Chains A and B, each alone.
Chain A
Amino acid sequence: QMDAPGCGRDGLGLLATQEDMSVPQYCDKRSYPLPDVPYHKDLGAEQKALKEKEKGSWKQLSNEEKVALYRLKFNQTFAEMNRPSSEWKTVLGGVFIFFGFTGLIVWWQRVYVFPPKPHTLTDEWKAQQVKRMLDMRVNPIQGFAAKWDYDKNEWKK
């Protein structure tokens, strides 16, 4: 049973270690863009100095310092966490393998299991059947008999 969305119950099965679920968690999730805690909680000396500098005007931060502050707070960028994978190739490959395997099974069935074809599928029977349908004028306006030329006794061109 899923509770409110947050970092804890991610339902994605990505957590492998035993986390302490009683404290707020960090997570990289598109559906939860601002995690409950920063990624790096314990900061070294120069990282603490950077956080102090962040309290002032941001115009005095260089680009590298801005990126460093971002990486302190977040693990992956959205581009990194949303990167495409090659999983679709595996999925499609597996699907086609099973198609092929099923085809082999069906082929074996055709050779060893199926009974002989009914006599109504032989060519002479089918010809007699077509002649009878034409004699009965089956669908003479737009359908079967409409395509037969009764005067010349052949199919219309």
Chain B
Amino acid sequence: MSSTLLPKPQMRGLLGKRLRFHIVGALIVSLGSAVLYKYGVAEPRKRAYADFYKNYDSMKDFEAMREAGVFESVQPKDS
């Protein structure tokens, strides 16, 4: 057993310190995940949709699907 004194431990402000650490951390994690989602998922998706519909010819797409024979209301043109 040693007879040297240990340093006096932290006696006060323990809850406050814990709260500050966790509140700051929670803010960072939640804001960070929101920002990541926005710029990782939402913006690319909006751009993908905009690009798809920029030069989209729905009638041409419809004719292609009709030829492939997936519709019941219209048949392929030469049948």
Enumerate chain A interface residues (CB-CB to B < 8 A): 63, 66-67, 132, 135-137, 140-142, 150
Contacts and interface: CB of A to CB of B under 8 A. Distances in A.
Contacts of A137: 61, 65
A32 to B, nearest CB: 23
A128 to B, nearest CB: 12
Question: Is chain B's interface secondary structure helix, strand, loop, or mixed overall?
Answer: helix
Contacts, number: 20
A67 B49 CA distance: 77
Q: Please report whether the interface of chain A is mostly helix, strand, loop or mixed according to DSSP.
A: loop
Given A141-B52, A142-B45, A136 B65 contact: yes
Contacts of A136: 65, 68, 70
20 contacts: A63-B1, A66-B1, A67-B1, A132-B70, A135-B65, A135-B68, A135-B69, A135-B70, A136-B65, A136-B68, A136-B70, A137-B61, A137-B65, A140-B52, A141-B48, A141-B49, A141-B52, A142-B45, A142-B48, A150-B64
